[in-house]
């Protein structure tokens, strides 16, 4: 048995500062918390894999060579003024030291048309990552994938150490959106499309 906390805000649709109430309820659950200090590393990976996210290809031409890094840690909503986004890159990445030299980075949110070749963008053979994937290079050197729902052209704003990764904050300089392409979702080590019948339950639609 676990105790769960539930914000009244989500029930009433109203937020009134300190008046926001918290209700404590008891409910049955199969969850048993495992300490990260003693757990098998696969248990942590499995927990993290339960979090769905979008996936972005960060790419540019640097010294005449294309550099691409696929990142499910990419996220927006960090700051609107100035416009900032971020992602985390593992210290072991061999692409990031090259890509970070770029004056401008292209960020392409993967869409359903990328599903079949998405893993290729993270493949071991870096020279084949863009094989048969339509893309274009901006005058700035930023590389963008065709058929993406969102394009951003960015510059590196800050880099922060975070364990075995670095958090890279990017400033958005230019953007484009195309709602004709639905985004891919990365979940449980697989790609889902929001147009999948199972994922398109109208009862899950938000406001
Ligand atoms: C779906 C998916 C998401 C990924 N997300 C990240 C990420 O957020 N950060 C990261 O450093 N690597 C991520 N990777 C791994 C990189 O794309 C890349 O494969 C890895 O950095 C090794 O290649 P490199 O040495 O050329 O960098 C992801 C791979 C896949 C398939």
Does residue 171 surpass a pLDDT of 70? Answer: yes
CA angle, residues 175, 128, 163, in degrees to nearest 5: 65
Per-residue pLDDT band for 43 (boundaries 50, 70, 90) equals: very high
Best residue among 51, 67, 69 to mutate for probing ligand 1, ranked by most atoms within 8 Å of CB: 69
pLDDT digits (tens, 9 = 90+) for 25-35: 666 788 889 99
Compute the distance from residue 115 Cα to the ligand 1 centre, in Å: 16
Q: Output the pTM of the full model.
A: 0.84
Ligand 1 pocket check for 98: Cβ under 6 Å? no
Compute the distance from residue 89 Cα to the ligand 1 centre, in Å: 7
pLDDT digits (tens, 9 = 90+) for 96-109: 999 999 999 999 99
Nearest C-alpha neighbor of 74 from the set 63, 61, 59, 60: 59
Enumerate domains of the chain plus CATH numbers. 52-187 (2.30.110.10)
Does residue 20 surpass a pLDDT of 50? Answer: no
Stated as kind and residue range, the H or E segment containing 161 is strand 150-162
52/75 Cα distance (integer angstroms)? 12
Is the N-terminal amide bond of 18 cis, ω within 30° of 0?
no
């Amino acid at each position: 048995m676990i105790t769960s906390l539930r914000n009244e805000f989500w029930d009433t649709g109203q937020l009134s500062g300190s008046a926001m109430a918290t209700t404590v309820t008891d409910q049955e659950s199969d969850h048993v918390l495992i300490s990260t200090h003693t757990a098998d590393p696969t248990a942590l990976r499995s927990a993290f894999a339960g979090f769905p996210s979008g996936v972005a290809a960060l790419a540019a031409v640097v010294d005449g060579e294309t550099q691409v890094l696929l990142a499910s840690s990419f996220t927006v909503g960090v700051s609107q003024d100035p416009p900032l986004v971020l992602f985390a890159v593992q210290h072991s990445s061999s692409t990031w030291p090259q890509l970070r030299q770029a004056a401008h980075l292209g960020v392409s949110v993967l869409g359903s048309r990328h599903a079949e070749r998405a893993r290729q963008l993270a493949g071991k053979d870096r020279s084949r990552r863009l094989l048969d994937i339509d893309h274009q290079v901006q005058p700035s050197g930023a590389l963008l994938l065709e058929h993406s729902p969102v394009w951003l052209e960015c510059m590196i704003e800050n880099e922060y150490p975070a364990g075995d990764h670095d958090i890279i904050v990017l400033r958005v300089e230019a953007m484009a959106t195309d709602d004709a392409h639905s985004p891919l979702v990365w979940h449980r080590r697989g790609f889902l499309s929001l147009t999948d019948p199972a994922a398109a339950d109208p009862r899950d639609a938000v406001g």
